[in-house]
């Protein structure tokens, strides 16, 4: 039987954090995903990735919050809840520690979110399509104005 590297099991936990950062995830949940005891998981995760599982989860949440601050107009409180944090005060303190400024100042230092509005290509094609010709061809190949109907 092939021996699987411990990093592969730890990667499962890392993937869980990346996909469910907004959920109330505990270190025990991550250890279960990796198939390890909580204590052993924490030691192995820290040794392998250079930061604790809790720190990794917090980093992911703050990275996502920074992206939401850049690309949306949602309030700081909404973003705090969206990334899985409960306290706006703790969020602001943690964000300022990592990014060097509070969330509101971070947002103010960036271009407005409207500059980054993403519009699906099908909508762009529809809305930028030239207007249809308002004249109708007759049987003789001439174009005439379409008669308005009462």
Q: Are residues 46 and 69 in the same domain?
A: no
Using 50, 70 and 90 to split pLDDT, how confident is the model at 56? Answer: very high
Q: Are residues 70 and 18 in the same domain?
A: no
Nearest alpha-carbon partner for 83 in 57, 108, 102, 105: 57
Domain span holding position 24: 1-50
Please state, in angstroms and rounded to a whole number, the distance separating the CA atoms of residues 13 and 27.
Answer: 9
Q: Are residues 65 and 108 in the same domain?
A: yes
pLDDT for position 83: 94
Q: Are residues 39 and 89 in the same domain?
A: no
Q: For 86-143, how does the pLDDT look when each residue is reduced to its tens digit (9 = 90+)?
A: 999 999 999 999 999 999 999 999 887 666 666 666 665 666 655 555 555 556 656 6
Q: Are residues 46 and 67 in the same domain?
A: no
Q: Are residues 23 and 42 in the same domain?
A: yes
């Amino acid at each position: 039987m092939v021996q699987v590297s411990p990093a592969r099991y730890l990667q499962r936990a890392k993937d869980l954090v990346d996909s469910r950062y907004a959920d109330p995830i505990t270190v025990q949940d991550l250890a279960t995903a990796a198939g390890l005891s909580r204590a052993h998981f924490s030691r192995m995760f820290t040794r392998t990735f250079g930061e604790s599982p809790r720190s990794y989860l917090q980093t992911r949440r703050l990275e996502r919050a920074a992206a939401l601050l850049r690309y949306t107009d949602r309030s700081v409180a909404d973003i705090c809840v969206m990334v899985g944090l409960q306290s706006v005060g703790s969020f602001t303190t943690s964000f300022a520690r990592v990014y060097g400024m509070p969330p509101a100042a971070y947002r103010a230092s960036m271009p407005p979110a409207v500059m980054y509005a993403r519009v699906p290509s099908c909508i762009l094609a529809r809305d930028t399509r030239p207007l249809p010709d308002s004249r109708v061809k007759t049987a003789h190949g001439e174009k005439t104005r379409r008669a308005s109907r009462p």
